[in-house]
A and B are shown apart, each in its own frame.
Chain A
């Protein structure tokens, strides 16, 4: 079982719609969760981090965490063409240290 899984996509949504990106992880002890956005040919940039169950909102972005279900999601409201990118989910897992594991990413395309 892969440690962090995401739907590879591509996920296509019309402009103005809500985009929902999902991520599941295997380590029940994971404590920290991150969402990154990566434009083609560029490096990942942090969107937000979440540590507690529930929702965390930042502008048009909402991260949702459910540790019991080992599930973290990212909602993008009022999607814009500029949101078209690959979204990476990252989760810490306990090895000999707090290792951050990145998922393979979900490609999002927002259609004008």
Chain B
């Protein structure tokens, strides 16, 4: 089945730790995205990638980093510099930037 997978579903982090969220897609999409959603809020773009080995900052990139070494994979690292990381993180992909985005199931990160 084609789709987007994210792991883990739930993640707990101690303050000061870096954590990496996984996102994999088998839709053969060029573009991938990371969003953050806080309770009762809309989606805020963290990073996006239009093509392999290229990525750009979104609206709230501070404290986050990404890589795009393979077309299928776009991992997100939440660093200790992110002061309020507790949120629901969503990965999405589209055939090209600006196209219809399809979402993974999300990772819920909680900082203890």
Which A positions have Cβ atoms within 8 angstroms of B?
32, 34, 36, 42-46, 49, 88, 90, 92, 97-100, 102-105
Contact = CB atoms under 8 A, between A and B. Distances in A.
Contacts of A49: 100
B50 interface: yes
Contacts, number: 44
- Nearest first, the 6 closest Cβ-Cβ pairs linking A and B are A98-B98, A104-B42, A43-B103, A102-B43, A43-B106, A102-B42
A104 to B, nearest CB: 4
In terms of DSSP, what is the predominant structure of the interface of chain B?
loop
Interface string B61-99: 000000000000000000000000000001000000111
B41 A42 contact: no
Given A88-B42, A88-B43, A97-B50, A46 B102 contact: yes
A52 to B, nearest CB: 15
Contacts of B41: 104
